[in-house]
Structure 1
Amino acid sequence: MKVILLERLEGWGGLGDVVTVKDGFARNYLLPRSKALRATAANLKVFDAQRAEIEARNARARDAAAKSGESLDGASYVLIRQAGESGQLYGSVSGRDVADAINAEGGKVERAMVVLDKPIKTLGLHEVKVRLHAEVVVTVTLNIARSLDEAERQARGENVIAAQFEEERLAAEEAQADLIEGGAGQIEGDYVQA
Structure 2
Amino acid sequence: MEVILLERIAKLGQMGQTVKVRDGYARNYLLPAGKALRANAANKARFEAERSVLEARNLERKNEAQEVADVLAGKSFIAVRAAGETGQLYGSVAARDVIEILAAEGFNISRNQVVLNAPIKTVGVHEVEIHLHAEVEITIELNVARTTEEAERQAKGEDLTSAEAIYGVDEDALRPEDFFNPDADYDIEDEQEEASAEGEEAGEEEDDK
TM-score (norm. length: structure 2): 0.79
1:191: which partner in 2?
A: 204
Match runs of 1:1-194 below 5 Å = 1-162=1-162, 163-167=164-168, 191=204
For residues 101-136 of structure 1, the C-alpha deviation after alignment (integer angstroms, 9 at most, x for no partner) is 111112221232111022100000001011111111
Which 4+ stretches in 1 moved above 3 angstroms?
Answer: 185-192
Structure 2 CA distance for aligned equivalents of residues 97 and 30 of structure 1: 25
State how far apart, in whole Å, the 2-side matches of 1:43 and 1:190 are. Answer: 101
Letter paired with 1:164: A
Secondary structure of 1:161 counterpart: coil
Check the 8 A contact 2:5/2:16 in 1, yes or no: yes
**CA-CA distance at 1:24 after TM superposition:** 2.0
Larger Rg, first or second structure (1 or 2): 2
| % identical aligned pairs | 49
**Amino acid across the alignment from 1:133:** H
1:28 and 1:155 map into 2 onto residues whose CA distance is 40
Contact 1:154 1:160 in 2 (8 A): yes
Distance 2:18 2:111 in 1: 29
Is this contact kept in 2: 1:74–1:138, CA < 8 A?
no
Q: Report the CA distance shift for 1:111/1:27 in structure 2 as closer, same or farther (over 3 A).
A: closer
In structure 2, runs of 5+ residues without a counterpart are 172-177, 179-194
Q: What is the CA deviation profile of residues 10-31 of structure 1, one whole-angstrom value per residue up to 9, with x for unaligned ones?
A: 1211101001112222122111
| TM-score of the pair, normalised by structure 1 | 0.85
Q: Take 2:120 and 2:203, find their aligned partners in 1: how far apart are those partners?
A: 63
Residue by residue over 1:119-173, the C-alpha shift from the partner in whole angstroms, topping out at 9 and shown as x without a partner, is 1000000010111111111111011000111111101101112133341689xx9
C-alpha contact 1:4 1:38 (8 A) present in aligned 2: yes
- Say how many residue pairs are matched: 180
